[in-house]
């Protein structure tokens, strides 16, 4: 017979708390174990466990959806689950807890031999600087396990003579966020999480990953294993000197990491929206290919079905997803619902893509403000992300969209749509030239993204000309550079000629960033050349009246029927822009001497 102590808790402290308590008591008795259960909730703690109860226990079960201070259970095997798990799978929870207790290290060993603890202390010579770790903890609900794991890692590090800073990624967003200086100082990074954690900021640092349960049960062991087993997170492109795709990926990641403020939030929304636009646009194109231009009238046919998937379904989600993830980027999970509700209202009020952007920012900043100003006791903290913040955020953005923002923005959107629809050919060519130049100017940077976001937003208004110009102009920089490395080999080093092959693939895939390594090495010659070629391509695409229904995919979407109109002329626009870029590079770049080429090959080895 085992002796068990348990703590149950939920935000209200009523239903789930009591049900988990009763389930654990009854099941433990049936299994022949002795158990005492403390409950925590809105009314505070009841049936509080005494020091004698804890000292006599073989294992501690924490079944909670709110934060529980586990410091009094130090040295005891702990097993943490949600209240739902304790209610539904009570026997399995007790069995797993006892099994974990049986395999855990003997907790009294350290107390019986104090000198064993002292062996972990830092020698004086190492006390400064190096004995510092950082950690990230996260669980699906972002409440109990997240903070208990953080506490476990902290105490484990302290027991071993280390300083620790722990970032918690909980239901109300990241708290105690790690800075670049924290990460730079750290000897090792511990990730104790049951959800996916973005590790890109830890490139080059030793990383050890484990579960929240492991950190809760034995923080000392987790830190010891981290110090012994952590593996270095290698930066992209570190495999070899000619890993061109890796260097492009690294450049893109670096740009993403450097984004901040409204631009970062907007790009987060756009990145989550694009798959919906791509899927919807392709479904619409395929429906027209199967059933003709009036396929939406042919109810019950395959073409009609494809159209229903694309236009009223996938495209209908475009603006809500955009707004929702703008708000998510600002306020984390609590901002998602207000943002998506604001996006739905943007659609219903006729403000479209522009209204969705406005709604996303209002929802995000409002929810984030409420999160900062509303302070609740820890046992009620679980109510904020699931009830209070979504309710208040949705109310604010909804009322503003309906009574303040909707009408003036919808008038502006209608005016812009009418202007673009009735645009004369000369105006269209100028617009295409400007959009094309913007796509190449910073190759995936803010100017490029401004042009791309403008074109994507017009898809919701059934205006497809700018999207075609933008994608074509975004393909030509890597394609022009690739062709230049093939035709004019004496103007490039061996590494650059090899990289040109990868640039061709990236260009065909509409990855403008494929030009970044070339532009970084020789910006004064490469950037004017690619801007010129992309501007020509954008202008020609508009001149040829090419329309594109999908916002991405490069040449791989061109064979799909009705994805692009005037396909032959559209391909000509891309080819002409590529040739213009190549020609400009021939004029501006000078031949590379053998001595310079040898130096270019030696420099990476020296570095």
Which of helix, strand or coil describes residue 2? Answer: coil
The residues assigned a catalytic role are: 139
Q: How many angstroms separate the CA atoms of 187 and 163, rounded?
A: 10
Rounded CA-CA distance 402/437 in Å is 38
Residue with tokens 């000197």: 241
Q: Measuring CA to CA, which residue among 534, 538, 575, 580 is closest to residue 555? A: 575
Ramachandran class of 50: left when φ > 0, alpha when ψ lies in -120 to 50, beta otherwise: beta
Sequential DSSP letters for 460-510: TTT--HHHHHHHHHHHHHHHHHHHHHHH-GGGS-HHHHHHHHHHHHHHHTT
Reduced to 3 states (helix: H, G, I; strand: E, B; else coil), residue 514 is helix
For the chain, state the CA radius of gyration.
30
Q: Say if residues 336 and 327 touch (Cβ distance below 8 Å).
A: yes
- The answer to whether 325 touches 269, Cβ cutoff 8 Å, is yes
Which tokens is 200 given? 């890109």
* Terminal alpha carbon distance of the chain: 65
Structure tokens given for 491 = 């103007």
Q: Strand pairing partners for 535?
A: none
Torsion angle of the four alpha carbons 275, 276, 282, 286, in this order, in degrees rounded to the nearest 10: 140
Give the list of residues 6+ apart from residue 303 with CB closer than 8 angstroms, or none. 287, 288, 289, 290, 291, 292, 295
Rounded CA separation 554/44 (Å) = 60
């Amino acid at each position: 017979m085992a002796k068990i102590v348990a703590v149950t808790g939920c935000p209200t402290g009523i239903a789930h708390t009591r049900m988990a308590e009763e389930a654990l008591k009854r099941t433990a008795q049936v299994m022949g174990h002795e158990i005492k259960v403390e409950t925590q909730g809105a009314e505070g703690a009841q049936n509080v466990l005494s020091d004698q109860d804890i000292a006599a226990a073989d294992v501690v079960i924490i079944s909670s959806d709110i934060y529980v201070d586990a410091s009094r259970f130090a040295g005891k095997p702990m097993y943490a689950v949600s209240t739902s798990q304790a209610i539904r799978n009570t026997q399995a929870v007790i069995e797993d807890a006892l099994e974990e207790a049986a395999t855990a290290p003997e907790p009294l060993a350290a107390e019986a031999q104090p000198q064993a603890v002292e062996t972990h202390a830092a020698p004086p010579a190492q006390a400064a600087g190096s004995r510092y770790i950082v950690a990230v903890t996260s669980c699906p609900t972002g409440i109990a396990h997240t903070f208990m794991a953080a506490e476990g890692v902290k105490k484990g590090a302290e027991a071993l003579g280390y300083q620790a800073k722990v970032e918690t990624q909980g239901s109300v967003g990241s708290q105690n966020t790690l800075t670049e200086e924290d990460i730079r100082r750290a000897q090792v990074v511990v990730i104790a999480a049951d959800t996916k954690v973005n590790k890109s900021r830890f490139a080059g640092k030793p990383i050890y990953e484990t579960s929240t349960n492991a950190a809760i049960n034995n923080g000392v062991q987790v830190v010891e294993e981290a110090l012994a087993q952590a593996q270095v997170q290698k930066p992209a492109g570190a495999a070899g000197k000619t890993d061109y795709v890796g260097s492009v990926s690294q450049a893109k990641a670096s740009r993403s990491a450097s984004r901040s403020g409204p631009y970062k939030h907007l790009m987060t929304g756009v990145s989550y929206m694009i798959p919906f636009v791509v899927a919807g646009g392709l479904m619409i194109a395929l429906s027209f290919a199967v059933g003709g231009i009036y396929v939406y009238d042919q109810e019950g046919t395959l073409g009609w079905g494809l159209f229903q998937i694309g236009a009223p379904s996938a495209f209908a989600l475009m603006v809500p997803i955009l707004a929702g993830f703008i708000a998510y980027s600002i306020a984390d999970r609590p901002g998602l619902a207000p943002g998506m509700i604001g996006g739905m209202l943007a659609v219903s009020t006729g403000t479209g893509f522009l209204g969705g952007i406005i709604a996303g920012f209002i929802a995000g900043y409002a929810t984030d403000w409420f999160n900062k100003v509303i302070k609740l006791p820890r046992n009620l903290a679980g109510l904020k992300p699931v009830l209070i913040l979504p309710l208040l955020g949705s109310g604010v953005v909804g009322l503003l969209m309906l009574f303040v923002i909707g009408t003036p923005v919808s008038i502006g959107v209608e005016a812009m749509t009418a202007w673009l629809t009735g645009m004369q050919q000369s105006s269209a060519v100028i617009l295409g030239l400007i959009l094309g130049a913007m796509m190449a100017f910073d190759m995936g940077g803010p100017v490029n993204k401004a042009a791309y976001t403008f074109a994507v937003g017009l898809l919701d208004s059934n205006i497809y000309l700018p999207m075609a110009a933008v994608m074509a102009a975004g393909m030509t920089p890597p394609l022009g550079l690739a062709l230049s490395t093939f035709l004019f080999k004496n103007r490039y080093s061996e590494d650059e000629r090899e990289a040109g092959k990868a640039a061709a693939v990236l260009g065909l895939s509409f990855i403008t960033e494929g030009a970044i390594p070339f532009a970084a090495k020789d910006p004064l010659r490469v950037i004017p050349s690619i801007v010129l070629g992309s501007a020509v391509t954008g202008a020609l695409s508009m001149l040829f009246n090419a329309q594109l229904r999908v916002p991405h995919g490069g040449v791989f979407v061109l064979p799909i029927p009705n994805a692009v109109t005037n396909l032959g002329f559209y391909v000509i626009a891309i080819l002409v822009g590529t040739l213009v870029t190549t020609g400009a590079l021939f004029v501006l770049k000078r031949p590379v001497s053998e001595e310079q080429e040898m130096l270019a090959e030696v420099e990476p080895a020296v570095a």
